[in-house]
Amino acid sequence: MEWQKGPLTTDQTDVWISRFQRESKLYVWGFFVLLHPIVFGIIWWSTGELNRDVFLSLGSFSLVTFILAILSRRRTATAWSGVVTDKRTRKRRVRVGANADERTEFRYEVVVETSRRRNLTLRCLPAFFEYVNGGDVLVKAPGFDWPEKAELDQDHRVCIACGDILDAADGNCRRCGVPMLDHASIVRV
């Protein structure tokens, strides 16, 4: 998808959001369909013949990828609004490399209670973790991964596509290139 440069107007944002949602569905299901001939070829090549095992393997692969595609679309397709109730930083030790060197990593989580009284835990980037505060109202538009504040209180915004934090002066996300969308349109959706 080719992104337009700079902040978008309300009308441009509405068009951009519908286009993004339509194309994201196309990418998910296109990937699902295009992957099957490749996997079929690999299984056939490794067994050397077309037999029951090849078709059972392909059927299992199809079932698993279909379930993953449905779950992925369900997660991003839902819209919600909610209040930040908690922010947590979890420290964990990770082994890296053949030498099993250990290092400490931090996992940043924001807990949101939705308007339906459901608690969601968002694993996020450190910048998003710092951007939101307890009591902030967040709104997630359907088809996107990240919520935005209902009321902006700083010169920063969230890229609802990748979760990076944008300066108000930025026209596009530095991380993924998405244009800065009209805030009122995001909250309205």
Same domain, 98 and 180: yes
Of 145, 140, 142, nearest to 115 (Cα)?
A: 140
Give the model's pLDDT for residue 172. Answer: 86
**Residue 5: inside a domain, yes or no?**
no
Instruction: Report, as an integer, the average pLDDT of 14-18.
Output: 84
pLDDT digits (tens, 9 = 90+) for 47-85: 888 888 888 888 898 899 889 888 877 777 788 999 999
Of 2, 6, 4, nearest to 169 (Cα)?
A: 6
pLDDT tops 60 at residue 4? no
Q: Is 111 exposed, middle or buried (0-12, 13-18, 19+ CB in 10 A)?
A: middle
Same domain, 66 and 133: no
Same domain, 87 and 23: no
Domain that holds residue 57: 10-77
Q: What is the residue-wise DSSP string for 36-73? A: HHHHHHHHHHHHSS--HHHHHHHHHHHHHHHHHHHHHH
pTM of the shown model:
0.73
Residue 73 CA, chain-centre distance (Å), reads: 10
In the three-class reduction of DSSP (H, G, I as helix; E, B as strand; rest coil), residue 8 is classed as: coil
Question: Which ranges constitute the DSSP H helices of the chain?
Answer: 10-47, 52-77, 126-131, 183-188
Mean pLDDT of the chain: 85
Q: pLDDT confidence of 114, banded at 50, 70, 90?
A: very high
Instruction: Report, as an integer, the average pLDDT of 106-122.
Output: 94
Residue 150 carries which side chain, given as an amino acid letter?
A
Instruction: Report, as an integer, the average pLDDT of 178-183.
Output: 85
Q: Which of 51, 77, 103 is the last residue of a domain?
A: 77
Q: Is 21 exposed, middle or buried (0-12, 13-18, 19+ CB in 10 A)?
A: middle
Give the model's pLDDT for residue 1. Answer: 47
How many domains are there within the chain?
2
pLDDT digits (tens, 9 = 90+) for 124-139: 999 999 999 999 999 9
